[in-house]
Structure 1
Amino acid sequence: MWAIRRAPNPIRNQSCCMLFSHAFYAKPEAFSNLDNGVQYSKVCLINGTYHLTRPVFGGGFHRSLLLVWGRNLSSQVGPKSSDKEDDLEDGFSDLEVPPETEKIEELAEKNDDELVSGADSAEEDVDEADKDSLAFSDTDEKELAKKSRSSPVFKIIMEATRPSLTSALDQWVEAGNPLGRGEISLALLNLRKRRWYGKALQFMEWLETTKRLEYEEREYASRLDLVAKVQGLQKAENYIDKIPKSFRGELLYRTLLANCVAAVNVKKAEEVFNKIRDLGFPISTFACNQLILLYKRVDRKKIADVLKMMEKEDVKPSLFTYRLLIDTKGRIHDISGMEEVLATMKAEGIEPDLYVQAVIAKHYIFASENQKAEKLLKNIEGDDISKNRAACKPLLTLYAALGKTDDVERIWNVCEQNPRLEECLAAIEAWGKLGKVEDAEKVFEKMMKSWKRLSSKYYNVLLKVYANHKLLSKGKELAKRMSDNGCRIGPLTWDALVNLYVEAGEVEKADTILHKASEQNQVKPLYNSYISVLEKYADRGDIHNAEKIFHRLRQIGYVGRMRQYQLVLQAYVNAKTPAYGFRERMKADNIFPNKTTLAQLQAVDAFRRTQISELLD
């Protein structure tokens, strides 16, 4: 599923000693209306359906929302619904990216000016899976970020190699240095922000072995999350068996569920969801949102089943629930359905935030409802944009998507004198979208002068602009500049480089970059990086290389997504070669073809009957 993003509502205030425990597990308080305490009344989810084994009593769910969804969604799902299913991929993604705006995972976007301007700036934000499964309050995360640059433990972990990490930590402690929960929290937060999950797991193992940290359910959940990310879901399940039964609470299984969703493992996610029910834990809005995220990627029709289950169990939808539903409606170009969900949301007293408005505007634009989009953008902008700086970032990208150069320039003029990093990123994307590469470069150079050290995240945006305009030589120069400046190269940079070479027509080079990246690093490349290469092989009818990329996707855990099957089938179609046993392959993987895939399967069926074959036989 894509990562459920957290609503921007701050969680309950907690003392400093709790920072570690609330930072690394699937805790629902980060979302609005997530703790409803409703008992899960034996709902068995099997392939998206549910069966009640005992009567459920209680209250009014938002039946109008269910009716809106049931009436409109299924009829709208067609060939287009799976064309661009999986964006991010690392994980959850869960709202994948608006084509021209930020990831939907950017639900509670924070300014990371302070995070990035220092020497210890993160390469990327915490990944999508983390955004959904981990509970950060804005205040706590900013406080941690301010302190992170002076965290001695984190610096030791960062500088040590994996083999020498344990001994380095031993020496540091033996020197009499204190190691409290606050310091542990800072170190782990920074490791996660950089996606150094292997080192984070090694650090937690050292903490347990040396008894530097007393493990409770939250600590076990944090470690479970890291095991799932580094070693896979099977190892994570095995780890649960080693945890004392007294600490095997809902939190543990919710964390496992979030990771199953991140891996888009439908069967395992449903098993874990049912396990939560079987153990008698209450079902939360968080768990339901995870299922909606999952089914948004693999089978949108099943979202109606989740909503019906929520109605039966009196589980109240949260702000994020509505965000997911609005985005899903928009992605299938069901604008009237999207507007009905919005109306239901308002009727329940939940007002759309800036992010929801931006998502709605984005879907208006891509449904060619430009008048509605412009009206909404003016509403987002307000009377004085200079007093509404939070709106500048989405407005830059949305005005660019509308092709409104003057409005992009007007908004950027408001930001230019004292720009924020995220506004600079949005401006680079916007100018790139409008074909004004030189203007994008000027913004980038302004960033380079304003901030002493930028992470690779900020180079990647310009790299994407170069890729979109097939400026291979400029892209190579920028990549070298990144290396010379000591930037850490990670999945987003690999993705930008892959697209740079793909758009320049050098698919084999892009394939080589991707293969080397996956072999040399613990962090796996993005799903879309593989899809970009696979699309080109499919267009060529290159069955051998298409199957090779498909196999790599399975090897690193990207399974259960229709798009990769469609692209391999297209390679067979374009090569005019039968795909023997492909239906059986899909059935074995629990993948059920949609209309587009059925047409492809028929085209590559060696035994299909045609009019001429009937005559000749």
Structure 2
Amino acid sequence: MWALRRASIPLRSQGFSIRTSRACCAKLEIPSSCIEEDKAGVLESPQEAYDRWLYLKRFYHTEHASSKFSVGRCSFSSQAGAKSSGEEDDLEDGFSELETTSGVQANQDSNGADESDDELISGPELSDEDVEEPSQNELELSDIETDPIEKKSSRRAQSELFKAIMAAPGLSIHTALDKWLEEGHDLSRAEISLAMLNLRKRRMYGRALQLSEWLEAKKQLDFVERDYASRLDLISKVRGLQRAESYIEKIPKSFRGEVIYRTLLANCVADNNVKKAEVVFNKMKDLDFPITSFSCNQLLLLYKRLDKKKIADVLLLMEKESVKPTLFTYKILIDTKGQSNDITGMDQIVETMKAEGIEPDINTLAIIARHYASGGLTEKAEAVLKEMEGDNLKDRFACRLLLPLYAQLGKADDVRRVWKICESNPWLEECMAAIEAWGRLKKIEEAEAVFDIMSKMGKKLSSKHYSVLLKVYASQKMLTKGKDLIKRMGESGCRIGPLTWDALVKLYVEAGEVEKADSILHKATQQNQMRPMFSSFMAIMEQYAKRGDIHNAEKMFHRMRQSGYVARLRQFQTLIQAYINAKAPAYGIRERMKADNIFPNKTLAAQLAQVDAFRRTAMSDLLD
């Protein structure tokens, strides 16, 4: 049994604090800790507390009524539980597996999407395993922009206004919109909403913002709160959080409701900005907005990526405010447990979810199967995959999830079986999944055959589709084939964006040409307004660190900062490793970490000891 001690661990932020119970638990990487209460007796062990707490049940008892349990204004601060967790492998994870919709149409509609020049992506970067699909934030904003009836009809419709916007030459669409208006075309809210939805599906946020600004300037739409929220979201994605915050002041006070601040919070989370997210959350508390599952899920998602120790604070807040966990809440907890290799704990969360009447959807099952496979539990993974398949694999949406999962298990026959179901009339997303699966199985010819099928489907391929095969070549160090594919992309007129840059960088890094990868990324950053992915910078920085090349490692660290990426534990770990490999002291590194609010875990503390210029050893003591 763990010893339980009482202490005060306030979460300070903006003058407010949370006073509540905290239980210690190593399994979910919640800080070792304590319980604070006002004259309340804790009547159960820490392990019992954790078991009940993790599964979102009450984990404390008081001798008297709940009024004896004093809770102040709840707020979160980046200082609270600030020590980062020991596992940072998921830091570049955009978490798209937890943010997907069970519908297929969103994928089909966006199959022909391209990485346009005006897509100034400032949302979360995508990791190697990510699938580019609407996030929970994006889906919520689609609900804001589109009425339910409109949204239902829009699933298979494509806006004429959207087609006119897509046909507009150059980056500005104002001329095309003026012409549309002069010709007397429909500019109803339904048509506008449909155009916005199509632009968002294709991540064409620059054009969507221009449309929103034009509508207001031409007084073609009476703006309501959802329109202002949509504009705020687009400004954040295109121009950054600071400009988005400034825009809020321009919104009429009567429309500055919970939806506005919730939208800003979601974008802070998308940008992995812990400080701003916590400030916005506290602002919502100050304005007496209700605490919703959406806002809590955003914090859980953020802390899952960057500071798992704070997850307990959010869960306790949800319980105290009677905020019911949603399917998305459970997905985050399931994935967090899986990444911590706590399969037993993951299974218990799944059981609790079902006990609460929430059945796992197909994406949740995919997450569970992936963690079983990673943990070597092949039989359990296969059982989940069979559950996903159902009877004769009637749900085609499952195919794109099943293909890479069977490949992860090394089941080439099952990959081939599932692909045959799709092969006669494949969707682009299924082709991409099949290419990834064959690549993982090192069956390059099969991956190339699927790519040929995809290229002959009559739809223009985007850089997203080319990047899948490019990553396969990178993983197999097939530089020549990668270069040929890049030439093919150029000949097809395909526009290149962050996804392609990332694949290119990894292609050259795997081939040992780190300087070339660095040069490509540098040119891409200078020539385009789009921000490279976090993983692109890290792939190069890690190679410099292995070489002990301090100068270039520091250069990459600085360039990431210039690109707007907030400092993370993993960046400092990589940078310090460069100093270790160079056998050089890192002067002032602790102060730099402190300035960025980064606190070392055990691994990083050991690294810091090795680069401490003033550390004393047995030999130095003898010489002194």
TM-score range, shorter chain: 0.7 to 0.9
Contact 1:114/1:146 (<8 A) preserved: no
Cα offset, 1:145, TM superposition: 5.9
Q: How big is the shift at 1:396?
A: 1.4
How far the C-alpha of 1:172 sits from its partner, in A, is 3.4
Give the Cα–Cα distance (whole angstroms) in 2 for the partners of residues 78 and 170 of structure 1: 52
Q: 1:497 aligned to 2:504?
A: yes
> 1:237-248 residue pairs with structure 2 within 5 A?
237-248=245-256
Contact 2:339-2:371 within 8 A present in 1 as well = yes
Q: Which moved more, 1:356-365 or 1:554-563?
A: 554-563
**What's the TM-score, normalizing by structure 1?**
0.82
User: Which of residues 528, 538, 544 is equivalent to 1:537?
Assistant: 544
In structure 2, the CA distance between the partners of 1:530 and 1:374, relative to structure 1 (3 Å rule), is same
Report the residue type matching 1:147 in the other structure.
A
Measured at CA, do residues 49 and 430 of structure 1 come closer, stay the same or move farther in structure 2, by a change above 3 Å? farther
2:580–2:607 CA contact under 8 A, matched in 1 = yes
Match of 2:562 in 1: 555
CA RMSD of aligned residues (A): 3.0
Equivalent residue letter for 2:257: G
- Corresponding residue for 1:340? 348
Counterpart among 486, 511, 516 of residue 518 in structure 2: 511
Counterpart of 2:24 in structure 1 is none
Matching residue of 1:579 = 586
Task: Name the structure 1 match of 2:282.
Answer: 274
Matches within 5 A, 1:335-374: 335-374=343-382
CA distance in 1, matches of 2:607, 2:390: 48
Report the equivalent of 2:92. Answer: 86
Superposition deviation, residue 397 in structure 1? 1.0
- Conserved? CA contact 1:329–1:335, under 8 Å: yes
- Residues 1:142 and 1:601: Cα distance change in structure 2 (over 3 Å): farther
Q: Secondary structure at the match of 2:496?
A: coil
Correspondence for 1:161 among 144, 156, 170? 170
Name the counterpart of 2:448: 441
1:570 and 2:577 correspond: yes
Residues 267-346 of structure 1 aligned to structure 2 (within 5 Å): 267-346=275-354
Q: Report the counterpart of residue 147 of structure 1 in structure 2.
A: 157
Deviating more after overlay: 182-191 vs 397-406: 182-191
Q: How does 1:466-505 map to 2 (within 5 A)?
A: 466-505=473-512
Task: Give 1:29's aligned residue.
Answer: none
Residues 463/80 of structure 1: CA separation in 2 closer, same or farther (3 Å cut): farther
Report whether the alignment pairs 1:110 with 2:78. no
Deviation at 1:384, TM superposition (A): 2.5
Alignment match of 2:398 (pick from 377, 383, 391): 391
Q: Distance in 2 between matches of 1:533 and 1:422?
A: 29
Q: Which structure 2 residue ranges, 5 or more long, are not aligned?
A: 1-9, 21-36, 39-48, 60-82, 117-130
Letter in 1 for 2:356: E
Cα distance change, pair 539–133 in 1 and its aligned pair in 2 (3 A): farther
The answer to whether the 8 Å contact 2:499/2:533 transfers is yes
Q: Residues of 2 paired with 1:157 and 1:481: CA distance?
A: 24
Partner of 2:613: 606
Partners of 1:132 and 1:258 within 8 A in 2: no
Alpha-carbon displacement from aligned partner over 1:478-513 (angstroms, at most 9, x marks no partner): 122122222222221111111111111111221222
Distance 2:602 2:11 in 1: 28
Cα pair distance change 1:145/1:509, threshold 3 Å:
farther
Cα distance, 1:339 vs structure 2 = 1.0
| Alpha-carbon shift at residue 454 of structure 1 (Å) | 2.3
Alignment match, 1:174: 182
Q: 1:45, 1:270 within 8 Å by CA — same for their partners in 2?
A: no
Residue pair 2:90, 2:305 contacting (<8 A) in 1 also? no
Contact 2:174/2:214, CA 8 A, preserved across alignment: yes
Specify whether residues 419 and 201 from structure 1 end up closer, same or farther in structure 2 by C-alpha distance, changes over 3 A only: closer
Partner AA of 1:357 in structure 2:
L
Q: Is the 8 A contact 1:399 1:405 kept in 2?
A: yes
Cα gap change, 1:49/1:133 in structure 2, threshold over 3 Å: closer, same or farther? farther
CA distance in 1, matches of 2:155, 2:523: 32
Residues 99 and 136 in structure 2, CA contact (< 8 A), matched pair in contact too: no
Q: 2: distance between equivalents of 1:228 and 1:379? A: 40
Distance in 2, matches of 1:126 and 1:376, equals: 23
Q: What is the distance in 2 between the residues matched to 1:267 and 1:391?
A: 38
Moved more, 389-398 or 77-86: 77-86
1:434 deviation in Å?
0.6
1:252 correspondence with 2:239? no
**Is the Cα–Cα contact under 8 Å of residues 79 and 596 in structure 1 kept in the other structure?**
no
SS in 2 for 1:286: helix
Evaluate the alpha carbon distance shift between residue 204 and residue 67 of structure 1 in structure 2; reply closer, same or farther with a 3 A threshold: closer
Q: Deviations over 1:528-582 (max 9, x none)?
A: 1111111111111111111111112112221042111111111111111111111
Task: Name 1:208's counterpart in structure 2.
Answer: 216
Q: Measure, in 2, the Cα distance between the counterparts of 1:463 and 1:109.
A: 27
Q: Secondary structure at the match of 2:456?
A: helix
> CA offset at residue 168 of structure 1?
3.8
Q: In 2, distance between residues paired with 1:63 and 1:346?
A: 19
Q: CA 1:502 to 1:384, structure 2 compared with 1: closer, same or farther past 3 Å?
A: same
Say which SS state the counterpart of residue 134 (structure 1) adopts: helix
Aligned residue pairs: how many? 548
Structure 1 residue 117: deviation in Å?
A: 5.8
Letter in 2 for 1:561: R
Listed one character per residue, the Cα deviations across residues 193-213 of structure 1 (whole Å, up to 9, x for unaligned) are: 333323322222222122112
SS of aligned partner of 1:81: coil
> Which residue matches 1:50?
18
Change (3 A) 1:353 1:171: closer
Give the CA deviation at 1:383: 4.4
Alignment of 1:218 with 2:205, yes or no, is no
Whole-angstrom distance in 2 between the partners of 1:133 and 1:388: 25
Give the Cα–Cα distance (whole angstroms) in 2 for the partners of residues 270 and 78 of structure 1.
16
Q: Which has the higher helix share?
A: 1
Once the two structures are superposed, what CA deviation does each residue of 1:423-451 show, in whole Å capped at 9, x if it has no partner? 22111111100110000111111122233
Greater relative contact order structure (CA < 8 Å, 6+ sep) = 1
Q: Which residue of 2 aligns with 1:66?
A: 53
Aligned partner of 2:18: which letter? Y
Task: Give deviations 1:306-362, integer Å, cap 9, x for gaps.
Answer: 111111111100000000000011001111111111111111011111111111111
Partners in 2 of 1:472 and 1:421 — Cα distance? 25
Separation in 2 of the partners of 1:79 and 1:67?
A: 17
Q: 1:413 to 1:212 in 2, by over 3 A?
A: same
Distance 1:574 1:612 in 2: 21
Q: Distance in 2 between matches of 1:595 and 1:284?
A: 35
Cα distance, 1:294 vs. partner? 0.8
> What is the distance in 2 between the residues matched to 1:194 and 1:516?
25
Q: Is this contact kept in 2: 1:408–1:430, CA < 8 A?
A: yes
Counterpart check, 1:590 vs 2:600: no
The secondary structure found in structure 2 opposite 1:453 is coil
Question: Matched residues in 1 for 2:226 and 2:473: separation?
Answer: 44
